[in-house]
Amino acid sequence: MGMEAIKEHTYQIGEVARKYHLSVATLRYYDQEGLIPGLGKSASGVRQFTDENLGALDVVECLKNAGMSIKDIKAFMELASQGDATLAERQAMFYDLKQRLQAKLATLEETMKMVDFKCAYYTQAVADGTERYVKEAMHRVD
């Protein structure tokens, strides 16, 4: 029995769109912007995603969810395609991103405190049928 090439499993754009909860148009846009390196096409021009492409898409989605612009994601992917020579630059990008996310998280935690307070406030006001008692209690605490 001869050695047969093992064909890598590929995914069509619709499958990937469903898996990532993205539109097909978004995936096409990512491809056009060069955010999914090495994305192949079939003889008939249908995009064929490999597991490696999905790994790149995981990174793109992570960076997008972290608030990074498409322009900056593209810059990161271009650095990644250059290999080890850009490791320090990519590391710096992630540390910068981490710092920005920590600041955003701190802001969200403060926001959550106010939301928690307002939930408790309105729970009591609804139970009382009026805000009057809650407001009076707040003034007594001051």
Other Cβ atoms less than 10 A from the Cβ of 33: the count is 14
Residue pair 109/102 in contact (Cβ under 8 Å)? The answer is no
Q: Report pLDDT digits (tens) over 104-129.
A: 999 999 999 999 999 999 999 999 99
SS3 43: coil
Tokens for 44, please give them. 């008939």
Confidence of residue 78 (pLDDT cuts 50, 70, 90): very high
> Residue 90: is it exposed, middle or buried by C-beta count within 10 angstroms (0-12/13-18/19+)?
middle
Q: Is the pLDDT of residue 139 over 80?
A: no
CA end-to-end span of the chain, whole Å?
Answer: 86
- Whole-structure pTM value: 0.76
Beta bridge partners of 35: none
Q: How many CA atoms lie within 13 A of 37 on its CB side?
A: 14
